[in-house]
Structures are given as structure tokens and as C-alpha cells.
């Protein structure tokens, strides 16, 4: 499982002209599922992200988690995080999980984030999405489990 985590002032996801997710301060999480990922991987990733201290405290040091600042999250399924560009100029996605595995794991990840105390919304699996991100910092973290 791979994630690109962006600390945001605001974020939203639009599908076919309608807003399907929208937050203020928090995280936009671009989440890729690999073929060997499972519920345990999703739990570990959600736990790590919910406790990741990447928000500024009163001394302007990254010392607070999303839960500490009362933030929310948006999870966007992103199979392109598994792109293989070693050969040629067209990426291969053979290392990404099949939709039958990935879709339920993304949903489970969202539920675990909620169980960990982070209000979490999501985009639509497999849809063409317009993801709006007002990156704060900018702070962008890449994480793999």
C-alpha cells in the first residue's frame, strides 16, 4: 500500500460536476493498493497516518497529528501510484491491485480512519475525479507499507 499524504487548508473531490467530498484543514490522502495488500496493511497505514505529526504546534514545529488539530481527511484511490516507468515512455500498471481487491480495501481504509477518530470522506473508486488541493506548507509525505 502506498500513500501520498498532503497537509491541506482545504480539499475537495468533484465527479461529473458534483462535489463528492470536501474538507477544510486536514489531509488529502492519495491511496494506491498493491496486489499483496490486505486488511492488516490498511489498518497499519490508517493508524500511521492518523498519528503522523505533520501539523504545526504553537512553536511552528510539526508536532501535532490530524486528530490533535481536529482535522478531516479525504481518501482518493490512485492506482497510478503503482506505475512502472522503467521501460519505455508509457507507464505500466501491472503492479497495482485489481479493482476487485483494491475497491474494498480503499473502503476499509476509510472506515479504519474513522475508527481512529479522523472524520474521513472519499472520492469515487474508478471515477474520473477532479481533486482540488490547497496544500499547506507545502507538506507532502510519501508512505509505503
Residues that are catalytic: 78-80
Q: Which residues contact 139 (CB under 8 A, 6 or more apart)?
A: 6, 7, 54, 62
Contact 103, 125 (CB under 8 A): yes
Q: What b-and-e string marks burial along 64-75, b requiring 16 or more CB atoms within 10 Å of the CB?
A: bbbeeeebbbbb
Cα-based angle 94, 104, 119 (whole degrees, multiple of 5): 120
Question: Measuring CA to CA, which residue among 19, 41, 22 is closest to residue 32?
Answer: 41
Amino acid at each position: 500500500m502506498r500513500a501520498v499524504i498532503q497537509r491541506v487548508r482545504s480539499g475537495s473531490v468533484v465527479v461529473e460536476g458534483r462535489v463528492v467530498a470536501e474538507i477544510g484543514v486536514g489531509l488529502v490522502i492519495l491511496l494506491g493498493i498493491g496486489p499483496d495488500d490486505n486488511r492488516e496493511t490498511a489498518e497499519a497505514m490508517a493508524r500511521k497516518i492518523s498519528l503522523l505529526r505533520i501539523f504545526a504546534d504553537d512553536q511552528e514545529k510539526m508536532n501535532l497529528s490530524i486528530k490533535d488539530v481536529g482535522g478531516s481527511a479525504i481518501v482518493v484511490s490512485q492506482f497510478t501510484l503503482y506505475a512502472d516507468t522503467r521501460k519505455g515512455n508509457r507507464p505500466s500498471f501491472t503492479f497495482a491491485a485489481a479493482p476487485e481487491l483494491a475497491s474494498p480495501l480503499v473502503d476499509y481504509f476509510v472506515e479504519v480512519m474513522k475508527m481512529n477518530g479522523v472524520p474521513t470522506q472519499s472520492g469515487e473508486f474508478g471515477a474520473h475525479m477532479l481533486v482540488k488541493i490547497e496544500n499547506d506548507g507545502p507538506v507532502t509525505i510519501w508512505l509505503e507499507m
